[in-house]
Amino acid sequence: MTQRIDDYALIGDLQTAALVGRDGSVDWLCLPRFDSAACFAALLGDEDNGHWRIAPKGAGTCTSRRYAEDTLILETRWETRTGTVEVVDFMPQRDRAPDVIRIVRGVSGRVEMDAVLRLRFDYGSIVPWMRRADGHRVAVAGPDSVWLRSEPPVKTWGQQFATRSSFTVGAGEEVAFVLTWHPSHEPRPELVDPFDALEHALADWREWAARCTYRGPYRDTVMRSLITLKALTYAPTGGIVAAPTTSLPEELGGVRNWDYRACWLRDSSLTLGALLSAGYVEEAAAWRDWLLRAVAGDPADLQIMYGPAGERRLPETTLPWLRGYADSAPVRTGNAAVEQFQLDVYGEVMDSLSRAREAGIPARRHAWNLQLSLLGFLESTWREPDEGLWEVRGPRRHFVHSKVMAWVAADRAVRTLEDDPELPGDAARWRAMRDEIHADVCAKGYDPVRNTFTQAYGSRELDAATLLIPQVGFLPPDDPRVVGTVDAVRAELTQGGFVRRYSTEGVSVDGLPGDEGTFLVCSFWLADALRLTGRTGEARELFERLIGLCSDVGLLAEEYDPVAGRQLGNFPQAFSHIGLVGTALALAAEETAG
């Protein structure tokens, strides 16, 4: 049976990540990077596409699980008729090679354990050659090599293209498994001690968590989201991937299955805000520097997303040998939306760099010249239609949110020049551009009969992104048009009290068949809009309902199906956790001010 998306937990080493199910199986892992080919792809197929399960013999799902406090170290417990056992899963921050470490601990009695490892390189399509070497198992195929060892050694044998182990643990006993990847043409990397690695990993995560300056309500929930955002960071560059997975569906059995293992500029402003609000200036600075490197060049070539190291080519392909999660095909790698034109990214880049400057992150000498270049390009293109925030694969439109974010770009330029008159730039020019965009949006993107901003010029459809209008400063929260928009979205775009991005009924704006769940970050945006428009009690009630959707280990996917009561989409999703942190901190600040 396919496990629910929210039945998985995340482990990672700040360069890649794995998903571990409640049954003790690692069903997703890409090595050596987030966007590398998976060596465990059962998540999108079946066990023969690669997995690694360690659990009591004959057991099903675990009794309970949790993360060790303020860490990304997963502790999964089974209570059986013969005793209790715990499996500790983690990936230490790597020195050179990525390691996945699984430590089996006897808690009480004696428990017979089974371990099954099926390595399948290139997203489950390549069965490697397995052999023994230096007392360990080694799997090799093409560029990939993976070593498996156990300490102390346990009985291990090969069977049906799998490696199996059978052993018994008693109270106080520990057996550790270490899986290490390296390029097959290089020597085996130095072995790590799994028990020392655990102590170091606990210390590393807790030292990082201790830097959090937030001490308000929902602290544990906020900390879990911040740890998740940190886990989605590609440490060598500072980039943050949207999710560590590809093709987890927005509708079970549907085709809305996308690869999110890339860094979206649209997340940049909110990511910076979340990190800075919690005191993580170093991470925010690293993200700012990644952003500057990624977008450098001709402003006409600005992309909406980049690879973890700033790569620009992310070609979209399908993997026909994988049936997809819950038979949701196709399975995709790469993302064709990288070629889209989206006006909003210019505003998001300008807002991100403005936030960094206001937070005291030292400016880069070339950053302002880059911003002026982006503004110059935007000045001549903001009147054009685009694919919009939601990356629609239908015709381009004059999306209201896109125009609002073009206004944000001009506004942040004006504010920067007002704060620092020594910088080069024509404040009057950008002020005029800002005023022209504002008048255009209010004239063409607002429906006076229904008292709401619409999704696009000339459209009657609504869009949850218009909830951001007061948050970015386009209009004050008490403006009747803002209040009307919030009320319209609540009336027309909610399901079970949670917010959909837009309507998918009839001929959808995105050009795709099928439906999707409610969008979690949009629901956090509604909570923010309710708070800004003076309905703090309703905002807090919605926020508490939203955090109640978190999995048992505090994780959120992209979407939620309120009818089936389950999470949908890629998992865990940075955008959802950014929304959680932002709303929590805003509610806490209002409570303190009140």
Of 172, 171, 169, 189, give the one whose Cα is nearest residue 180: 189
| Percent of the chain residues past pLDDT 90, beyond the cut | 80
- DSSP annotation string for 429-494: HHHHHHHHHHHHHHHHSEETTTTEE-SBTT-----GGGGGTTTTTSS-TTSHHHHHHHHHHHHHSE
Which listed CATH number (3.30.230.70, 3.40.50.300, 3.40.50.970, 2.70.98.50) goes with 5-187? 2.70.98.50
Give Cα separations from 88 to 71, 92, 161 (angstroms).
12, 12, 26
Given pLDDT bands bounded at 50, 70 and 90, which one contains residue 359?
confident
Does the pLDDT value for residue 515 go beyond 70? Answer: yes
Q: How far is CA 436 from CA 158, 179, 214, 444, in A?
A: 70, 59, 40, 12
Per domain, the residue ranges of the chain are 5-187, 223-593
The Cα 27–Cα 18 span in angstroms is 8
Please enumerate in sequence order all residues whose Cβ is within 8 A of that of 133, keeping only pairs 6 or more positions apart, or say none: 147
Cα dihedral value 516, 566, 87, 202, nearest 10 = 70
- What's the average model confidence in pLDDT over 562-575? 96
Measured CA to CA, the distance from residue 127 to residue 115 in angstroms comes to 18
pLDDT at 362: 87
pLDDT mean over 262-288: 87
* The pLDDT of residue 479 is above 90: yes
CA–CA distance, 467 with 526 (Å, rounded to integer): 6
pLDDT value of position 278:
94
pLDDT of res. 511: 67
Is 228:10 a contact under the CB 8 Å cutoff?
yes
**CB-based contact 103:176 (threshold 8 Å):** yes
Judged against a pLDDT cut of 60, whether residue 401 lies above it is answered with: yes
**pLDDT band at residue 485, thresholds of 50, 70 and 90?**
very high
Q: Are strands 518-519 and 498-499 parallel, antiparallel or unpaired?
A: unpaired
Q: Residue 161's pLDDT is what?
A: 81
Helix then strand then coil, % of the chain, to nearest 5: 35, 25, 40
**Mean pLDDT for all residues in the chain:** 94
Q: Which of 72-81, 144-153, 177-186, 544-553 bottoms out in mean pLDDT, i.e. has the lowest?
A: 144-153
pLDDT at 482 over 70: yes
> What percentage of the chain has pLDDT greater than the value 70?
98
Per DSSP, what are the bridge partners of residue 130?
Answer: 139
Cα 407 to its chain centre, rounded Å, is 27
Look at 73-82, 210-219, 424-433, 501-510 and tell me which has the smallest mean pLDDT: 501-510
* pTM score: 0.96
> Is the pLDDT confidence value at 282 over 60?
yes
Q: Looking at 209-218, 348-357, 486-495, which range is the least confident one?
A: 348-357
Confidence of residue 506 (pLDDT cuts 50, 70, 90): low
95-104, 160-169, 375-384, 458-467: which has the minimum mean pLDDT?
160-169
- Residue 300 tokens read as 């006409």
Mean pLDDT computed over 550-557: 98
Q: Is the pLDDT at 432 greater than 60, yes or no?
A: yes
Q: Concatenated DSSP letters for 93-118?
A: PPSSS-EEEEEEEEEEEEEEEEEEEE
DSSP 8-state secondary structure symbol assigned to residue 382: T
Q: Which of 105-114, 220-229, 349-358, 472-481 shows the lowest mean pLDDT across its residues?
A: 349-358
* pLDDT at position 366: 85
Which pLDDT score is estimated for 594? 62
pLDDT digits (tens, 9 = 90+) for 52-68: 999 999 888 999 999 99
Closest by alpha carbon to 27, among 288, 11, 36, 13?
11
136: Cα separation from own chain's centroid: 35
85 Cα distance to chain centroid: 31
Class for the domain spanning 223-593: mainly alpha
Closest by CA to 55, choosing from 115, 119, 117, 118, is 115
CA distance 577 to 572: 8
Least trusted range by pLDDT, from 53-57, 216-220, 273-277: 273-277
Whether residue 27 contacts residue 8, with contact meaning beta carbons closer than 8 Å, is answered with yes
Mean pLDDT confidence for 81-103: 96
Rounded Cα distance, 413 and 423, in Å: 11
Q: Does residue 593 register a pLDDT over 80?
A: no
Token duo for residue 315: 């070609």
